């Protein structure tokens, strides 16, 4: 029995085609990391709704990723390694020469990511560093695909960069402290045609994030969004804006952001978890 797998292909500033619906058999569906093969550690963030959303966004944009024929891919904040391993599996059949890198400030996370990637038979070079500090010179203007599931939960600022698992979600005021630090370095990392996929929470003010990136010369759109009873998450896709981009498309991007932000956000479940940990 065939399953309908729809990939979004539209966006004139990225030179892509109109949306198409492609029928794919289960055997031809792209592989992603298997949860049972994802390594774990008590101090490492496990795959959760945000991780699954980010991988789903990569799957939905798979045709563009393959057409990109990326040479270097990087995940900032790799945690368990679920996302970067999934990206490697998505691209492996069509882009066998792609090199994959991952960073995390948590040393336990780097070990966990190495084990997860090895469990799936893919190679990822993992570096313990703050954001991408140790790789910035080496990979300057070279990253073709950058994936980020940042610490986005609004927390007290003294929790940002804390030891262990807290660093994976503690984002400080509006959940933006680490996000803004990452956005300040992406221009140095991204290649000319590079793409960024970043998870954000409604409380992070995605509209403002996109405005900040526009000032840096990047176009943006909501690649995927998902709501639960407790939070509204989205994946924002960024690319270097070309001078030929039309104002109409920019207006459409802003309109989609405003529509998404028009709904009242719920309290983030991870913030609850953090408070529970602090009170225990």
**Facing residues of 147 across strands?**
75, 197
pTM of model > 0.85: no
Nearest to 106 by CA among 86, 81, 123: 81
Q: Quick one: which H or E segment has residue 127?
A: strand 125-128
What would the DSSP string read from start to end of 155-219?
A: --GGGTT-SGGGGGTB--GGG-HHHHHHHTTHHHHEEEEEEEEEEEEGGG-HHHHHHHHHHTTEE
What is the per-residue pLDDT across 24-52, written as a single tens digit (0 to 9) for each?
Answer: 444 556 799 999 999 999 999 999 999 99
Which residues are CB-contacts of 83 (< 8 A; sequence separation ≥ 6)? 33, 51, 54, 55, 58, 75, 147, 149
Longest dimension (CA), the chain: 55
Q: How far is CA 28 from CA 21, 67, 82, 89, 176, in A?
A: 15, 18, 21, 13, 39
Averaged confidence pLDDT in the chain = 82
Which residues are CB-contacts of 179 (< 8 A; sequence separation ≥ 6)? 150, 151, 152, 171, 198, 200, 204, 209
pLDDT greater than 80 at residue 254: no
Q: What is the mean pLDDT of residues 149-176?
A: 84
pLDDT greater than 60 at residue 257: no
* Cβ contact 102:78 at 8 Å: yes
For a pLDDT cut of 70, what percent of the chain falls above it? 76
What is the per-residue pLDDT across 50-108, written as a single tens digit (0 to 9) for each?
Answer: 999 999 999 999 999 999 999 999 999 999 999 999 999 999 999 999 999 999 999 99
What is the pairing mode between strands 218-227 and 232-240? Answer: antiparallel
Domains in the chain, CATH or no CATH each? 31-279 (3.40.50.150)
């Amino acid at each position: 029995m065939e399953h309908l797998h729809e990939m979004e292909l539209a966006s004139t500033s990225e030179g892509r085609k109109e949306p198409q619906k492609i029928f794919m058999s289960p055997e031809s569906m792209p592989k992603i990391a298997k949860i049972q093969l994802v390594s774990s550690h008590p101090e490492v963030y496990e795959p959760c709704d945000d991780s699954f959303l980010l991988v789903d966004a990569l799957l939905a944009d798979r045709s563009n990723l393959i057409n990109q024929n990326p040479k270097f891919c990087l995940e900032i904040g790799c945690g368990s390694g679920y996302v970067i391993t999934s990206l490697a599996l998505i691209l492996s059949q069509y882009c066998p020469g792609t090199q994959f890198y991952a960073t995390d400030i948590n040393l336990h996370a780097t070990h966990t990511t190495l084990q997860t990637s090895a469990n799936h038979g893919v190679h990822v070079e993992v570096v313990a560093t703050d954001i991408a500090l140790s790789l910035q010179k080496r990979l300057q203007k070279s990253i073709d695909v950058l994936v980020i599931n940042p610490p986005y939960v609004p927390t007290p600022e003294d929790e940002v960069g804390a030891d262990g698992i807290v660093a994976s979600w503690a984002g400080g005021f509006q959940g933006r402290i680490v996000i803004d630090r990452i956005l300040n370095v992406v221009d140095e990392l991204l290649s000319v045609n590079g793409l960024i996929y970043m998870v954000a929470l409604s409380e992070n003010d995605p509209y403002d994030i996109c405005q900040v990136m526009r000032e840096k010369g990047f176009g943006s759109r909501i690649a995927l969004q998902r709501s639960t009873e407790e939070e509204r998450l989205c994946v924002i896709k960024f690319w270097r804006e070309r001078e030929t981009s039309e104002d109409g498309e920019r207006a459409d991007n802003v309109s989609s952001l405003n529509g998404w932000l028009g709904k009242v956000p719920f309290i983030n479940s991870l913030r609850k978890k953090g408070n529970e940990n602090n009170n225990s």
